[in-house]
Amino acid sequence: MNRFDQAGTVWPRARAAAAAVVAIVLSSSAANAEKPPWQGCRPASKVEYESAKRQYLLRSRVGTYVKTGPIWKRSYWYCHL
């Protein structure tokens, strides 16, 4: 068996494995849609969160900004206290 025969059998397997991983990730992400950390929270943008952070307003008497989720898929919330 030469190297071309080996490569011909390896790449289809790699493509099938990659397609399976993508399908699993997409199906699990839809099922695990991010929910608010508690009642009374609204979605906030990353820009809004970062702006509040620069102005030292992540926590106030009225509400707080919350960042949830893993590093690769962050969700930002503004929650009334």
Range of the domain at 25: 1-33
- Indicate if 29 and 43 belong to the same structural domain: no
- Indicate if 59 and 49 belong to the same structural domain: yes
pTM of this prediction?
0.59
- Per-residue pLDDT reduced to its tens digit, 67-80: 999 999 999 999 99
Element (H, E) at 80: strand 75-80
- Indicate if 52 and 26 belong to the same structural domain: no
Mean pLDDT across the stretch 47-61? 96
- Indicate if 4 and 40 belong to the same structural domain: no
Adjacent-strand bridge partners of 63: 80
- Indicate if 28 and 54 belong to the same structural domain: no
Domains of the chain: total: 2
Query: In terms of pLDDT, which residue wins out, 34 or 37?
Result: 37
- C-alpha 41/C-alpha 63 separation (Å) is 9
Report the mean per-residue pLDDT for the chain: 80
- Indicate if 39 and 22 belong to the same structural domain: no
Mean pLDDT across the stretch 44-51? 97
Query: In terms of pLDDT, which residue wins out, 64 or 15?
Result: 64
Mean pLDDT across the stretch 28-34? 55
